Structure 1
């Protein structure tokens, strides 16, 4: 099992939910609604708890999300949030090194953890009758880790090797999910190397780890979701029993993570000695989360790059034949809902060596320059259908993991997992005029950053 943050989301929900219930009360669903039960409350120590029962299969998910991601990790400690994620599997008060993993796997379950922009998450999917065991185990490591120099040194080595394998020694390593934020953003918190510079990873010490744990891994900085086949009264009793007496902590004020308005287009070239053909990524700064323009960008994402009928897909793949795969989206390390700070909408592609960068950008301009006038209500309606289809695919897979992701994210960032209920309305409330205004402000050339990978391997092959 690999425990790391990934370029593509483990929980890829670029979608909306048609639901009918919120808080601790439920409304009957109409024939056109898909209903997800949601119960939300907080323990006295501040832990946010979300319960969502589904008896489709005899399994249950326990997901714990901590309101700390790599965006606000300490300066001069790049990669620290990710390093700490690894530390969470090195032992706790009652479970020794790697015993948490063995406990889950030997009971027929699967687990993982990941570090994202604004949270670090851990989850287990187990047979329903093992719910109490998983709640006990998650509470045990929230209560206290086995923080030793041996464990820290070991995981520093693991993470450094992961950086080398996944980024430094990999063709297109970090392109564009790790690279683009460093080029497009201005604020250090949004623009530093999230995976970690090797020197910074080496610099982490036991005092850093203990302080980070005491500050950010407290119950009042976390959300716990239980999704699946369980009895609610029983689950609530266990949660109170195992988590209720874990002390809360004083959470420091969040640093300023805002980004200035980008006024002029930025363009960069990154040499890649392992790449054999060029690659290009284009990014735009997103509107403020939960604003009308934010939802409009969700629709524009569908119209431009999602699916075979995406306008950029049609132009670059089918009409021009420059590439076989245009990929993109809002938040490459998650989805458009599970972040809270500044974000990029981005797409990327590789193309043949006999195609010039200028040709690719000219084809892109053909789409973007006429986009505002080309938009129709029918295109918006089709985008909503695509969003709904993505949602159902994700909610139906991984035993409800996508549902747990949305519930925890909305609890952490909005103190309202019931937001899951209003997403359909939010998208449907966006009219054509709002989408066109969003194109004017957020898809303007001055808001664009272009990053090109220069394939040195291809250049070397030509000279041999």
Structure 2
């Protein structure tokens, strides 16, 4: 079904300055900027979802394929398999042997990469417009005819195992808190296992495992093809049909139950990091359902509590009490609020000196959260949060690479079967009131919905003992 034919970023007015008062107290502030993304959206007979977004301002195209398979649904006893498989599909296909597709991109002066997230795996390229057909051909061959054999599997098992060692096992604060928090905050295995992969599980993967995984999750009917930029729509549709149309659909994907029960008691988990020089503290709160009023409110709470040096927790923990030199966190640490489709946490994390106690940090955070739960935020502060989130949205969708836009629209195609639904987000945030912020904070920032993870360092203690 056609949903439009062009990208229109409509800048209706200059954004309202931070601190400007809205027209009426406690009324939803009307957006001072409005954007609209109008993709062409349709399905091939084999189920492939296609998102086309024409934008001729720059003579380049962005091509991305998103598969509906992420960390959450990898097989039990094969932790890290989704990430391992992402690596496998960079190793070549029948008609594009190892290195061929990469050379096509680099010789055209383009860039490419891929990633594994909670709910999808993606591959993407940005190239001059003249290389579009080659990109469509290469992605179709990757989907239909990847080379999966013992040599390729062993090679990538070694690569990924080394990546785990470098980025997690042998790295101070490795996996902190993006890998640690989901395991602490969730109870469903699909949300709570080691997404990067245990080394034993990675080494145990077989060629049969990989082939079955490809057959199950990498069919066109579990995929979205995004093409954005300077292209001829009619010709592009012919190429898509030519290269993707003959790929047979896989069996319908049977997704596991990834739901989380409502958390009713606070959780506290100790995480030991022998390489960390300083202790760290993190808290995670389960998010409301996607697209709900509270989901939008939590997005704004994230801005007010965590994001930027004007945030409440930065002011309390850094400026007022000198507990830490900075804070991190947000919603979906492996993407954004718009690019996940299951249980998720809003997280805040910090490192601190050993003389700052857990009780001191928790009490400071509780004071800030309690104020949000007990008192209405000012219209001025709420408007500032809306301006910040709107600015972040524009930065994402207007980048020259279009990677952020490709990721968001493909996620909405995968999860909602409607990439144009992304147009709803600005109105959703605009409708949030101070009363909704308070109600959402009371339900979703309550102690019973919170998990605290304490990172205990080892490096500082070991150094101290060595000096004695």
TM-score by length of 2: 0.92
Deviation at 1:433, TM superposition (A): 2.1
For the 8 Å contact 1:37–1:53, the answer to whether it is kept is no
Q: Which residue of 1 aligns with 2:306?
A: 305
Q: For residues 342 and 236 of structure 2, what CA distance do their matches in structure 1 show?
A: 32
Instruction: Work out whether residues 109 and 127 of structure 1, in 8 Å CA contact, stay in contact via their aligned partners in 2.
Output: yes
The aligned residue for residue 350 of structure 1 is 351
Q: Which of 381, 398, 401 is matched with 1:399 structurally?
A: 401
**Does the aligned pair in 2 maintain the 1:63–1:124 contact within 8 Å?**
yes
Say whether residues 1:81 and 2:78 are aligned partners: no
- Give the aligned partner of residue 417 of structure 1: 419
2:28 equivalent to 1:31: no
Instruction: Give me the whole-angstrom Cα distance separating, in 2, the residues matched to 1:37 and 1:296.
Output: 25
* Aligned residues of 1:323 and 1:349 also touching (Cα < 8 A): yes
Moved >6 Å (runs of 4+): none
Partner of 2:46: 45
**Counterpart among 379, 389, 392 of residue 377 in structure 1:** 379
Instruction: Work out whether residues 112 and 126 of structure 2, in 8 Å CA contact, stay in contact via their aligned partners in 1.
Output: yes
Instruction: Give unmatched runs, 5+ long, in structure 1.
Output: 1-21
The answer (yes or no) to whether the contact 1:182–1:192 under 8 Å persists in 2 is yes
Measure the CA separation in 1 of the matches of 2:256 and 2:125. Answer: 31
CA offsets per residue over residues 147-181 of structure 1, 9 Å max, x none? 11000000000000000000000001111100111
Helix, strand or coil: the match of 2:126?
strand
Q: Displacement, 1:38?
A: 1.2
1:188 equivalent to 2:189? Answer yes
Residues 1:128 and 1:429: Cα distance change in structure 2 (over 3 Å)? same
- 1:172-215 Cα offsets, whole Å, 9 max, x none, are 11111001111110000000000001111011101111111111
Q: CA deviation at 1:121?
A: 0.3
- What's the C-alpha RMSD, in Å, of the aligned pairs? 1.5
**Quick one: distance in 2 between partners of 1:231 and 1:313?**
48
Shift of 1:26: 6.7
* Separation (CA, whole Å) in 2 of partners of 1:430 and 1:374: 12
Number of residue equivalences: 443
Query: 2:38 aligns to what SS in structure 1?
Result: coil
2:439 equivalent in structure 1: 437
Query: What is the DSSP-based 3-state SS (H/G/I as helix, E as strand, rest coil) of the residue aligned with 2:326?
Result: coil
The structural deviation recorded for 1:30 is 7.4
Distance in 2 between the 1:255 and 1:369 partners? 37
> How big is the shift at 1:462?
2.4
CA distance in structure 2 between the partners assigned to 1:82 and 1:399 by the alignment: 23
Query: Against the structure 1 CA distance between its residues 47 and 27, is the aligned structure 2 distance closer, same or farther, given a 3 Å change threshold?
Result: closer
Aligned to 1:450: 452
Deviation at residue 398 of structure 1 after TM alignment: 4.2
Residue 240 of structure 2 corresponds to residue 259 of structure 1: no
Query: How far apart, in 2, do the equivalents of 1:311 and 1:370 lie?
Result: 10
1:126-205 mapped onto 2 (5 Å cutoff): 126-205=127-206
1:270-349 pair list within 5 angstroms = 270-349=271-350
Which runs of 5 or more residues in structure 2 are unaligned?
14-33
TM superposition shift of 1:36: 3.1
* Equivalent residues in 2 for 1:108-119, closer than 5 Å: 108-119=109-120
Structure 2 equivalent of residue 121 of structure 1: 122
TM-score (structure 1 length as normaliser): 0.93
Residues 426-464 of structure 1 deviation map (CA, whole Å, 9 limit, x = unaligned): 111222222211111100011110101111111122232
Q: Which residue of 1 aligns with 2:410?
A: 408
Q: For the Cα contact (< 8 Å) 1:228–1:399, is it kept in 2?
A: no
Post-superposition shift, 1:35?
A: 3.7
Partner of 1:17: none
